[in-house]
Structure 1
Amino acid sequence: MTAAETHPDGPRGIEQRRREALERLDRDIDVWVATADADGEPTLVPLAFWWDGGAVWLATRRTNPTGRNLSASGRVRLCFGPTRDVVLMHGTARTLTHEELPAGVGDAFTAKDGWDPRESGPSYVWFQVTPEVVKAWGTVPEMADRDLMRDGKWLVLGD
């Protein structure tokens, strides 16, 4: 697929990319989750997610590398979409048990994904990822203006 096929009208403006990034967060089911351990050993896995309009919710076993890394440092990068229309999010994750989960989160996650981590046993925990940086771009001409959020603040306000 060429850049013209991806975006036939040429590079998208930052307002359009913000709108489309938020649509992707609402629509997509899976995300690539990148973490690292204390020695810098990277881990990259796909996980189901739910976007609540301000944070991304993930669930995985506390004992696997991603769960251990998120619990230890809270640092994470999330990558949504294909390489020609990517949304990259840097954020901080907060770990929650099933009992600590705010009302409605588990049900909304399950409704979107069709899988309920609460039924997968106590080794599964939840991670609330608060975005600090969000970038979106499709092709090289959009890279110069790819920042949509910095320091947890949207650079362009939506409708």
Structure 2
Amino acid sequence: MLKQAYYILCLLIGILVFVSIAGCATSLHPQLNSTIEKSTDALPDPETGLQEWMTAINAKNINRLYTLSPDQIREQVTLEQFTKDNTENYLLQPGYVFIGYTILNKTVNQTTATITAQLNLQVSASQNLNQTKVFPVIYKFFLVFEEGEWKIWNIPLS
């Protein structure tokens, strides 16, 4: 009985030594280590996509808004069509500026995300740019991480 306990103890110690050595070898192997590092690289927060979208809207930069659109949208709509479709977009007219936002809900799933946010839209009176009002507007944003940045599409909810 004592002999069996000794063999079992030696077997367990041998397994622990083997696992420890294998773990050390794996962490020192450069190819395996680089694969591990790449898989754990964190993507930027999807809010960076929302911030880029607001910056493009505030700058009235239709080209940047187009490049911030997901590939799926750009495959269906040319820049010329996108520009034409946004001719009447009030957000791209002078006097409309987003001055901040509050996240109401955010869901992130690897390379996709949805954000529901209340954006504060500052509207200037057309005759007097010093006279402004701020309106809360709620949007739902759909984001996809493509080409090194969050691409964004939205639906106004209010």
TM-score after normalising by structure 2: 0.25
Greater relative contact order: 1 or 2 (C-alpha under 8 angstroms, separation 6 or more)?
A: 1
Structure whose residues are more often strand by fraction: 1
Structure whose residues are more often helix by fraction: 2
